[in-house]
């Protein structure tokens, strides 16, 4: 099964959801000229890391962003791995990844499990407690958020339940670009799955971000990679390659989890 995927590597306007909806509108209009099946957005794309103003700018129950993504998905008949949003709920603000299918249905919401202390997430956000597994077109995928990729056992818990491609939405700083690339390539090789990493570009008062959104095949080869600036990358993946590689080197069958704890 072939899928064309576009990552919208946007420069997020700090604490300005309305401006960010405008930026994404423009990027989607550009991306659809390549006729992708799935569009991917970065982490916290409506607000950026303006954590001090979350009370004012977080999206209550992610409603406004879900509505926005549903309209875009239906209009263009494209699945959206709609990045993540500062989602104000009863128990606090979560960093929530949204998946909407091309009919505009909300397929999955994943709340970031591992909060990143270096960027103060633990002071302002509450962690999730459920997996990022979802289905599109009867195939299994996983979606996680940024710092989550440093936890290989968390990613494995998704691929061992059948995920064939891992979507990673991120605001990853330029200082650790080498970690971003290496960790994503490692996750692809060890899980024998496609990895689609959508990062942001630009800066905010505290960080310069790396860009370098990337699409990696299950052999660990980079199929497409962005530079540092605002950019769209698009690549077609053949999902069946995952099954072939898992047959060739049967890592999942050969695991001995009884020895790993
Ligand atoms: N937004 C994030 O979770 C950043 C994670 C990060 O920078 C890291 O090094 O890990």
Residue minimizing CA distance to atom 10 of ligand 1: 147
Task: Quote the ligand 1 centre to 71 CA distance (angstroms).
Answer: 30
Q: Is the pLDDT of residue 47 over 80?
A: yes
Reported as type and span, the H/E element at residue 92 is strand 92-100
- DSSP, res 145: E
With a CB cutoff of 8 Å and minimum separation 6, the contacts of 159 are 142, 166, 191, 192, 193, 252
Total domains in the fold of the chain: 1
Question: Residue 54 sits in a domain of what CATH number?
Answer: 3.60.110.10
ipTM value: 0.99
pLDDT digits (tens, 9 = 90+) for 131-177: 999 999 999 999 999 999 999 999 999 999 999 999 999 999 999 99
Calculate the average pLDDT of the chain.
98
Report the atom number in ligand 1 closest to the C-alpha of 112. Answer: 3
Overall pTM surpassing 0.90 (yes/no)? yes
Reported as type and span, the H/E element at residue 23 is helix 17-31
Pairing assessment for the beta strands 133-136 and 139-145 based on DSSP bridges: antiparallel
Residue minimizing CA distance to atom 1 of ligand 1: 171
pLDDT of residue 260: 87
Q: Is the pLDDT of residue 115 over 90?
A: yes
Pairing assessment for the beta strands 79-89 and 38-40 based on DSSP bridges: parallel
pLDDT of residue 103: 98
Task: Quote the ligand 1 centre to 33 CA distance (angstroms).
Answer: 32
CA–CA dist 120, 6 (Å, integer): 30
Pairing assessment for the beta strands 79-89 and 59-60 based on DSSP bridges: parallel
* Structural domain that includes position 18: 2-259
Report the atom number in ligand 1 closest to the C-alpha of 173. Answer: 7
Task: Quote the ligand 1 centre to 247 CA distance (angstroms).
Answer: 33
Task: Quote the ligand 1 centre to 95 CA distance (angstroms).
Answer: 13
Ligand 1-lining residues (CB < 6 angstroms) = 43, 116, 119, 146-147, 150, 171-173, 176, 179
Mutate to test the pocket of ligand 1, among 110, 125, 175, 176 (most ligand atoms within 8 A of CB): 176
Q: Is the pLDDT of residue 261 over 80?
A: no
pLDDT of residue 210: 98
DSSP letters, 146-213, are GGGGG-HHHHHHHHTTT--EEEEE---BGGGHHHHHHHHHHHHHHHTSEEEEE--BSB-SS-BB----
Report the atom number in ligand 1 closest to the C-alpha of 146. Answer: 3
By three-state DSSP, how is residue 134 classified?
strand
Catalytic residues: 43, 112, 146
CA–CA dist 73, 68 (Å, integer): 9
By three-state DSSP, how is residue 141 classified?
strand
CA–CA dist 240, 247 (Å, integer): 11
């Amino acid at each position: 099964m072939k899928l064309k995927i576009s990552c919208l590597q946007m420069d997020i306007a700090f604490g300005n959801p309305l401006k960010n909806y405008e930026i994404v509108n423009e990027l989607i209009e550009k991306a659809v000229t390549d006729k992708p099946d799935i569009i991917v957005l970065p982490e916290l794309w409506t607000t950026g890391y303006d954590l001090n103003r979350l009370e004012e700018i977080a999206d209550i129950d992610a409603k406004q962003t879900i509505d926005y993504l549903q309209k875009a998905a239906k209009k263009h008949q494209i699945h959206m791995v709609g990045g993540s949003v500062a989602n104000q709920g009863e128990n606090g603000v979560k960093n929530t990844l949204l998946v909407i299918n091309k009919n505009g249905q909300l397929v999955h919401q994943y709340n970031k499990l591992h909060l990143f202390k270096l960027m103060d997430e633990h002071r302002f956000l509450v962690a999730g407690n459920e997996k990022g597994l979802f289905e599109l077109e009867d195939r299994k995928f996983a979606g996680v958020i940024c710092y989550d990729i440093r936890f290989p056992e968390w990613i494995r818990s998704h691929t061992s339940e059948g995920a064939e491609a891992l979507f990673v939405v991120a605001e990853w700083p330029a200082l650790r670009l080498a970690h971003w690339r290496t960790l994503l390539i490692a996750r692809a090789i060890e899980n024998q799955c496609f990895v689609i990493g959508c990062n942001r570009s630009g800066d905010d008062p505290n960080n310069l971000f790396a860009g370098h959104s990337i699409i990696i095949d299950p052999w660990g080869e980079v199929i497409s990679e962005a530079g540092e600036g605002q950019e769209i990358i698009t690549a077609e993946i053949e999902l069946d390659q995952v099954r072939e590689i898992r047959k060739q080197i049967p890592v999942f069958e050969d695991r001995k989890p009884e020895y790993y704890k």
